[in-house]
Structure 1
Amino acid sequence: MNFSRGMAFFHTPSRLGARLSLSFAALLAVTAAAWTPLGAQAAAPAELKLDYAYYSPESLVIKRNGWLEQEVAADHTQVKWVLSLGSNRALEYLNSGAIDIGSTAGLAAVLGRANGNPIRTVYIYSRPEWTALVVRKDSSLKTLADLKGKKIAATKGTDPFLFTLRALHTAGLSRDDVELVNLQHPDGRTALANGQVDAWAGLDPHMAAAQIEDGARLLYRNVDFNTYGFLNAREDFIHEHPETLAHVLKVYERARVWIAEHPDETAKIVAEESKLPLAVAKLQLSRNDFSHPQPGPQQIEALKAAAPILLQEQLVKPGTDLNQVIDALVDVKFAQPVIASADGKQATQKE
């Protein structure tokens, strides 16, 4: 799918948003009331800590344009940006409190919550095909079955790692049939290019760069095994600063709409931030669908279909009720008023 075609799938303003009469400020108050004790006033934090990631185009657009700093300026909140190189890093930062809000893949977020990470998913930043199993252009490997006994670079605790396990299972293999080498995504690409591993569980934009710059080949693709891009917030932050969370979601929604209207500028930002060629950024963006920002049944269903791999591969405690974990993780209510307000504004502007 080319970049322009990918953008064609972008969601047009919903009728629901156009019909809503509540202002964004009123909706913000409703959201805050859900988490603020009766009679209490939620104070804005002195510092807001969140991540940016090369696999999350919205985060790069927001950071580049300074939109979040503008949004929280009246609250005298300082914004601290932290780079996440993968879901595993974002989850570590969330668990330790180094960040309040972080970007991960969906199944990685389930793994984190199942193992005690106190997070909830509050927004969907994209539906990507951002991972596949990659081999060198001169590799003799042709099928998943050929991976038996081979070395595969994969970042533990990330979507590419879990994608690899699911892919192996389709060929009747498990992680005991291969040697998984735990490397961060960019290091995995380097290891593949240098012949230190036979395959790599790639992640965009590094995967797109390997294709364009190294001639790497995608051995196995399955868009259904790519889980959604989740924006997660720590539960204590949600409870203590619901209005600040709403401000973050507002700028994420602004960025999502802006990306559809400015595909070339978006590609330039992604390329400059990741220090990769423009063609790489365009290939990455062509594999992203930004049309479903609202967390809900679609993501819950996809995660429940994917979750058994976590038990099968003993990545969570035996007996863990993963359906319960997923239901607790995906929180639908925070994004609803923000998306509805943005849709309403777009509908009004078009009338």
Structure 2
Amino acid sequence: MKTTLTHRIPRLVVASALFALASTALLWSAASHAADAPTVIRIGSPDLGTAGKPSASAGPLTVVQSHKWLEQEFAKDGIKIEWNFFRGAGPAIAEGLAAKQLDVVFLGDLASVIGRARGLPTQYIFASGRGSNSYLATAPGVDIKTVADLKGKKISVLKGTAYQRPFDNLLASAGLTEKDVKLINLDWPSSKTAVVSKDIDATFGGSDLFLLKDKGVNIPLSTKGRGPAFKIDAGVLATEDFIAKYPEVTARLVKQLVRAAHFASQESNREAFIKLSVEHSGNPELGIRSEFEGENLKERFSPLIDEDLVADYQRVVDEGLKLGLIKQGFAVKEWFAPQFVQQAVKDLKLEKFWTELDAQGQAVGKAAKPKAK
């Protein structure tokens, strides 16, 4: 009988060789796994908090941040979560993305659209809020009751943020443009100081402006109930590079965000959500309550990337081009990466919790009245 080479090698040597081979395979596997995970996830958000409390304001990100769900999720892998809050909001975050200093960002619709239109390599991975409102706060003693009264007034708006589009649309409703007012580009903390000190006549922004009411500031106008052109959507974007390198990490991150959206969407959690938002952001309870009064929380915080959401962002692109806020459009639908939310909803067994909507705001698969936005 022919004797093979293996038969001539001592069994101990063979065993040692097999052990070494197995160990090498394990080391390669461990190295490969390590390569599939970052050491830190760098998150960027506009600073929508007050009183020295950096915050992404009232929404799923605040729920995640306050409960430290991301930190808990990734602690076992040694992945750190780095939160970065920017007073300069969208424009400052765009600079961070361009410099490759951020991986995941939270932005309002116009700011994210401007970044994409300018070539920032992002993808939209999670809807963090739909249909938020804007408010006009006037300096003590300034008499503004209607949109027409804004003509000739000195008004601050942080350009390049989601508030610029509804402000321009508000002006247009009275036949005005930015050229008909003395528009001042100020960040939100500076705007609050300026309106209280009467250096400007008014400022346009979010519900945190209610904080100024006890300083003699009035809030005579808002976009509430004015229709889709005046509403603001917000979402979470990740860089294309981060998603390509770490798809599993991206999926786990989105799962925690969907978990937070589920918490914020439940009517039974309304009071707990408002309390958490007030405590964590430092923003006034009156403003947060006013913002969510009469709102369907399940619609407001639906994370689904459906046709309705895509249509909303297409509207932002179209109006941005019309108003001169962006110079070129892009393929909006291709920008979205819905697979992460879809998987998270399935994993969390929430398939029947939120309603998927078509481009007309109607429930998919059945006749429904248009959604109030």
TM-score by length of 2: 0.73
- C-alpha distance in 2, partners of 1:91/1:284? 27
CA deviations on 1:46-77 (whole Å, 9 max, x unpaired) are 11111354335222221221211111123221
Residue 230 (structure 1) aligns with = 235
Q: Kindly state the Cα deviation for residue 82 of structure 1 after the two structures are TM-superposed.
A: 1.1
1:283 aligns with 2:285: no
Specify the structure having the higher radius of gyration (Cα): 2
Query: Could you tell me which of 274, 277, 280 is aligned with 1:270?
Result: 277
Residue 308 (structure 1) aligns with = 318
- C-alpha distance in 2, partners of 1:284/1:95? 33
- SS of the residue corresponding to residue 127 of structure 2 reads strand
- C-alpha distance in 2, partners of 1:220/1:255? 28
Q: Is the 8 A contact 1:189 1:202 kept in 2?
A: no
Map 1:124-135 → 2, pairs under 5 A? 124-135=127-138
Q: Is the 8 A contact 1:142 1:219 kept in 2?
A: yes
- Which letter does structure 1 place at the counterpart of 2:186? L
1:112 aligns with 2:115: yes
Bigger shift: 299-308 or 232-241? 299-308
Task: Mark the runs of 5 or more structure 2 residues left unpaired by the alignment.
Answer: 1-31, 46-54, 354-373
Of structures 1 and 2, the one scoring higher in RCO (CA 8 A, sep 6+) is 1
Q: Kindly state the Cα deviation for residue 284 of structure 1 after the two structures are TM-superposed.
A: 4.0
- Which letter does structure 2 place at the counterpart of 1:307? V
Q: Is the 8 A contact 2:43 2:82 kept in 1?
A: yes
- C-alpha distance in 2, partners of 1:213/1:274? 20
Say if 1:109 and 1:276 are closer, same or farther in 2 by CA, change over 3 A. closer
- SS of the residue corresponding to residue 232 of structure 2 reads coil
Query: Could you tell me which of 141, 154, 161 is aligned with 2:157?
Result: 154
- SS of the residue corresponding to residue 163 of structure 2 reads helix
- SS of the residue corresponding to residue 339 of structure 2 reads coil
- C-alpha distance in 2, partners of 1:71/1:191? 42
- C-alpha distance in 2, partners of 1:136/1:68? 40
- C-alpha distance in 1, partners of 2:291/2:164? 19
Query: Could you tell me which of 176, 197, 201 is aligned with 2:179?
Result: 176
- SS of the residue corresponding to residue 263 of structure 1 reads helix
Q: Is the 8 A contact 1:58 1:256 kept in 2?
A: yes
Q: Is the 8 A contact 1:54 1:270 kept in 2?
A: no
- SS of the residue corresponding to residue 36 of structure 2 reads coil
- Which letter does structure 1 place at the counterpart of 2:118? N
Bigger shift: 172-181 or 275-284? 275-284
- Which letter does structure 2 place at the counterpart of 1:113? R
- SS of the residue corresponding to residue 343 of structure 1 reads coil
- C-alpha distance in 2, partners of 1:188/1:290? 27
Q: Kindly state the Cα deviation for residue 87 of structure 1 after the two structures are TM-superposed.
A: 3.2
Residue 17 (structure 1) aligns with = none
- C-alpha distance in 2, partners of 1:333/1:122? 8
Residue 71 (structure 1) aligns with = 73
Residue 19 (structure 1) aligns with = none
- C-alpha distance in 2, partners of 1:275/1:291? 21
- Which letter does structure 1 place at the counterpart of 2:163? P
Q: Is the 8 A contact 2:110 2:160 kept in 1?
A: no
- C-alpha distance in 2, partners of 1:213/1:326? 43
Say if 1:93 and 1:268 are closer, same or farther in 2 by CA, change over 3 A. farther
Q: Kindly state the Cα deviation for residue 242 of structure 1 after the two structures are TM-superposed.
A: 1.0
- SS of the residue corresponding to residue 228 of structure 1 reads strand
- C-alpha distance in 2, partners of 1:264/1:50? 27
- SS of the residue corresponding to residue 116 of structure 1 reads coil
CA RMSD of aligned residues (A): 2.6
- C-alpha distance in 2, partners of 1:211/1:202? 14
- SS of the residue corresponding to residue 308 of structure 1 reads helix
- SS of the residue corresponding to residue 43 of structure 2 reads strand
- SS of the residue corresponding to residue 146 of structure 1 reads helix
Residue 38 (structure 2) aligns with = 45
Query: Could you tell me which of 193, 196, 206 is aligned with 1:193?
Result: 196
Map 1:13-28 → 2, pairs under 5 A? none
- C-alpha distance in 2, partners of 1:283/1:89? 29
- C-alpha distance in 1, partners of 2:215/2:241? 43
- Which letter does structure 2 place at the counterpart of 1:161? Q
- Which letter does structure 1 place at the counterpart of 2:167? T
Q: Is the 8 A contact 2:107 2:235 kept in 1?
A: yes
Query: Could you tell me which of 248, 254, 259 is aligned with 1:249?
Result: 254
Q: Kindly state the Cα deviation for residue 215 of structure 1 after the two structures are TM-superposed.
A: 5.0
- Which letter does structure 1 place at the counterpart of 2:317? A
- Which letter does structure 2 place at the counterpart of 1:245? T
Aligned residues: 303
Q: Is the 8 A contact 1:271 1:280 kept in 2?
A: no
CA deviations on 1:259-286 (whole Å, 9 max, x unpaired) are 3343333223222222234444433444
